Amino acid sequence: MQAGLAARQDRDSLRYPCRQLPTADLNPAAAARLSLPTRLALESDESYPWVSATDNDMHPAMDQALALVWAAFAALVDPAITIWSYAKPVVLGTIALGVAYVLYAMVRTGMTPDPFVLHSVGDLRVATGRRGRRDPSTPASPSPAARVNDSDAPGSVWSWREYLRLTCPAWRTPFRATPYLFNAHLQTIHAALGRLNGRAEYDRDFLTMPDGGEIAIDWSRPKGGVPYRSTTPTVVILHGLTGGSNENYVQDLVSFLASPPYGYRCIVVNSRGCAESDLKTPQLYNGAYTDDFRFAMKHLQKCLPHAKMAAIGFSLGSNILVKYLGEEGKKAPFVGAVSVCNPFDFVMSNKRLLQTRLHRVYSRALASNLKKAYLKHAHVIRRHPKIHHGRIMNSKHIWEFDDRVTRIVFGYMTVEDYYADASSCNYISKIRVPLLCFNALDDPISPLEAIPFRAADENPWVMIGTTRTGGHIGHYTGWIKPERWCTAIYGQYLSAVLEAEAIVPVPDPAATDASDFETDVDEGTASDASAAIAAPVKPVVSGRDSAVQVSEASASMSPVPRAEPVAAPATPAPTAAAPAPTTTIPAPTAEPPASRALPAADADAAAAAAGAVARRGLPTWLVAPGARTATLRALVQWIMQNVVQSRRVLVVLLVLLGMRRTLK
């Protein structure tokens, strides 16, 4: 047996030169320099198990090929193993920090309330309480606005703030984002790919435009077993870019308003070529073109002459709606409207989309959606003599698509001209119906810089509501099945304006012509609305209404521009003929608000405690009543805020540790 083993070793030494020197005969330093495949080959019983031990006729070419394979394998594996051994602590540390940051963001998101803040609330008066005027088709359990109207005596008048506080209880509930959707980008992506919270059913009609084009109008079907009547309140909906009645945010709202206790009729006006409709002409739609919507509203007014109407638009549809309201002014057929995530200023919005790489992702995504919509109707759009298919398909950003399609089809000289004409912020001052503009301050598509706060301050009909977070048409809350928190926000507002008898502005005492304050009500309520202006108003909360989360603290925390105070007219200097009076009037002292003023006993106790602290030489925050809790809260908040910055220090330490190990 020993002789057979020796003969086999001699034979293998001739066939496999790499096995002439086993690892046991090498010194440790030489063995460590061998590659991993070489060490495996030397320490194994058979280097090539697929070759028979008794085969002495192996071709040299095969032997060389196998040797090259092993060499290539060693050249690939050895550097990777070496790099991983040094980079492993850095990679694992980075992953651990990323997981820790995600957990921290989820906890912070779940624990931080985001109040709904109102800006530029105008001085309006609301007439309510007309018993016996309600639609018999309304459900037995009425909406909050219907309960307020039915419970008051005829001729009740409310201020705009107080009426919204009573009819919109959802406004007092702060927004708490879904923990795993803790930033604007996750909220926006989930809004584009998220599930439906309520499914709507429609009956479709087609309306032919004067130029031969065609749009689809979807009428919601009644829910709850109550059929629609000719006087049922109606909500007209405009979708976003390349959307339609099938979008989840549209179906969520339709399901909310069509179900009890509201029971409203919802009508979705789809743009040309959207919602699986055919395009009849080479003309598409854009944010500046309101003729289709104007023609559709005339058709709906003929179909429903006795129904009160309100409107709501999302994203691009909200821009079309606001521009239409500004163009129509007092002739607008709505009693109220809502603008959701309106870009307002197309120039600023497009500039924001091209500032960073992450925002360019949204620009590319919007351009991709437009190109998909174009491909569905390319055989019709290419009839235009100036349209080039290749250039359109090479568009990478939304402004390139607008420059190569929208600008050409609608006759603009440059894409900047189109953006300037489409910006609905230029029409805010001409709106004459109650309008709620709902935006999130972190919206990546509708930036904060484009929200027209100053223009809304000058128009009592326009009100802006914001949240710090929420993304673009997002605002998801909940854990397992996230739902849109904002659906109830603008759904209850639409109910409030539909249930009110009349909404009129308070005339300016300095105005000389009272005819400027006309009301958009019918003949039967015009006299009541006029009397409502002079009627006594229900008690209201002075200043900003804390009941609708418009406190001084929340308003000051929001990074939005405030309206500058109007300077008082300069008093003419006294002349020599009229000497200045000798008596002087003392300036009134600024007293703190009642909510911040301390009772006399507490103020004396606080003063005594402060004096004792000063005598003992101790810091005030250590012994003042309630100061320790506030200090600990501020310390914890500071630590939580600096965790994000401290992760950079940990990464540097891990890199230095890896370099130290490499040098050893």
Alpha-carbon torsion angle 132, 137, 140, 145, nearest 10: -60
Q: For residue 88, what pLDDT is reported?
A: 78
The whole domain housing 13 covers 2-58
**What is the distance between the alpha carbons of residues 362 and 82, in angstroms, rounded to a whole number?**
40
In a domain, 368, yes or no: no
Q: pLDDT tens for residues 181-206?
A: 888 899 999 888 876 677 889 999 99
Q: Are strands 476-477 and 309-314 parallel, antiparallel or unpaired?
A: unpaired
Considering the candidates 277, 315, 349, 363, report the single residue annotated as catalytic. 315
**What is the distance between the alpha carbons of residues 266 and 309, in angstroms, rounded to a whole number?**
10
In a domain, 363, yes or no: no
Query: Average pLDDT for residues 628-641, to the nearest whole number?
Result: 64
Long-range contacts of 7-13 (CB under 8 A, 24+ apart): 8/53, 11/56
The secondary structure of 206-238 as a DSSP string is EEE-TTS-EEEEEEEPP-TT----TTS-EEEEE
Considering the candidates 185, 377, 472, 475, report the single residue annotated as catalytic. 472
CATH number at residue 132: 3.40.50.1820
Q: For residue 651, what pLDDT is reported?
A: 64
Q: pLDDT tens for residues 357-404?
A: 788 888 888 999 899 888 988 889 888 888 888 899 999 999 999 999
In a domain, 408, yes or no: no
Question: Smallest Cα–Cα separation from 144: which of 641, 617, 485, 499?
Answer: 499
In a domain, 183, yes or no: yes
Q: Do 162 and 31 lie in a common domain? A: no
Task: Decide if pLDDT at 426 tops 60.
Answer: yes
Q: For residue 498, what pLDDT is reported?
A: 94
Task: Decide if pLDDT at 131 tops 90.
Answer: no
Task: Decide if pLDDT at 499 tops 80.
Answer: yes
In a domain, 181, yes or no: yes
443 has catalytic annotation: yes
Q: For residue 109, what pLDDT is reported?
A: 76
Among the three residues 498, 529, 552, which one is the final residue of a domain in this structure? 552
Mean pLDDT: which of 96-105, 262-271, 371-380, 511-520 is highest?
262-271
Q: Do 126 and 229 lie in a common domain? A: yes
Among the three residues 11, 30, 58, which one is the final residue of a domain in this structure? 58
Total structural domains in the chain?
Answer: 2
Among the three residues 58, 74, 102, which one is the final residue of a domain in this structure? 58
Q: pLDDT tens for residues 519-572?
A: 333 333 333 444 444 444 444 333 333 333 433 333 333 334 433 333 333 434
In Å, how far are 36, 77, 133, 663 from 33, measured between CA atoms?
A: 9, 14, 95, 17
**What is the distance between the alpha carbons of residues 89 and 203, in angstroms, rounded to a whole number?**
61
Question: pLDDT band at 628, cuts 50/70/90?
Answer: low
List 476's β-bridge partners, or say none.
Answer: 484
Q: Which amino acid is at 335?
A: V
Q: For residue 617, what pLDDT is reported?
A: 43
Q: Which amino acid is at 271?
A: S
Q: For residue 532, what pLDDT is reported?
A: 41
Q: Do 51 and 127 lie in a common domain? A: no
Task: Decide if pLDDT at 282 tops 60.
Answer: yes
Q: For residue 149, what pLDDT is reported?
A: 76
Task: Decide if pLDDT at 301 tops 80.
Answer: yes
Q: Do 170 and 47 lie in a common domain? A: no
Q: Do 140 and 50 lie in a common domain? A: no
Question: pLDDT band at 156, cuts 50/70/90?
Answer: confident
In a domain, 541, yes or no: yes
Read off the tokens for 520.
């958009």
Q: pLDDT tens for residues 200-246?
A: 899 999 999 999 999 999 999 988 777 899 999 999 999 999 889 99
Question: Smallest Cα–Cα separation from 371: which of 353, 395, 354?
Answer: 395
Q: Can you tell me which residue has the tokens 């924001």? A: 352
475 has catalytic annotation: no
Q: For residue 288, what pLDDT is reported?
A: 93
Q: Do 155 and 302 lie in a common domain? A: yes
Local structure of 157: helix, strand or coil: strand
Average confidence score pLDDT of the chain: 75
Name the more confident of 467 and 83: 467
In Å, how far are 174, 192, 470 from 181, measured between CA atoms?
A: 16, 13, 9
Q: Do 181 and 43 lie in a common domain? A: no
315 has catalytic annotation: yes
Question: Smallest Cα–Cα separation from 518: which of 616, 433, 619, 626?
Answer: 433
In a domain, 401, yes or no: no
Q: For residue 61, what pLDDT is reported?
A: 73
Q: For residue 68, what pLDDT is reported?
A: 78
Q: Do 316 and 435 lie in a common domain? A: yes
Q: Do 42 and 189 lie in a common domain? A: no
Considering the candidates 443, 520, 528, 545, report the single residue annotated as catalytic. 443
Local structure of 402: helix, strand or coil: helix
Q: For residue 599, what pLDDT is reported?
A: 41
Report whether 471 contacts 191 (CB < 8 A). yes
Q: Do 27 and 136 lie in a common domain? A: no
**What is the distance between the alpha carbons of residues 430 and 79, in angstroms, rounded to a whole number?**
70
Q: Do 142 and 23 lie in a common domain? A: no
Global pTM value: 0.68
What are the residues whose beta carbons fall under 8 Å from the beta carbon of 162, sequence distance 6 or more? 538, 539, 540, 541, 545
**What is the distance between the alpha carbons of residues 434 and 144, in angstroms, rounded to a whole number?**
19
**What is the distance between the alpha carbons of residues 569 and 578, in angstroms, rounded to a whole number?**
20
- Looking at the chain, the whole-number percentage of residues with pLDDT higher than 70 is 64
Query: Average pLDDT for residues 83-105, to the nearest whole number?
Result: 81
Rounded (to 5) percent helix, strand, coil in the chain:
50, 10, 40
H, E, C per residue of 243-306: CCCCCHHHHHHHHHHHCCCCCCEEEEECCCCCCCCCCCCCCCCCCCCCHHHHHHHHHHHHHCCC
In a domain, 231, yes or no: yes
Report whether 175 contacts 469 (CB < 8 A). yes
Name the more confident of 446 and 78: 446
Name the more confident of 80 and 605: 80
Report whether 182 contacts 109 (CB < 8 A). yes
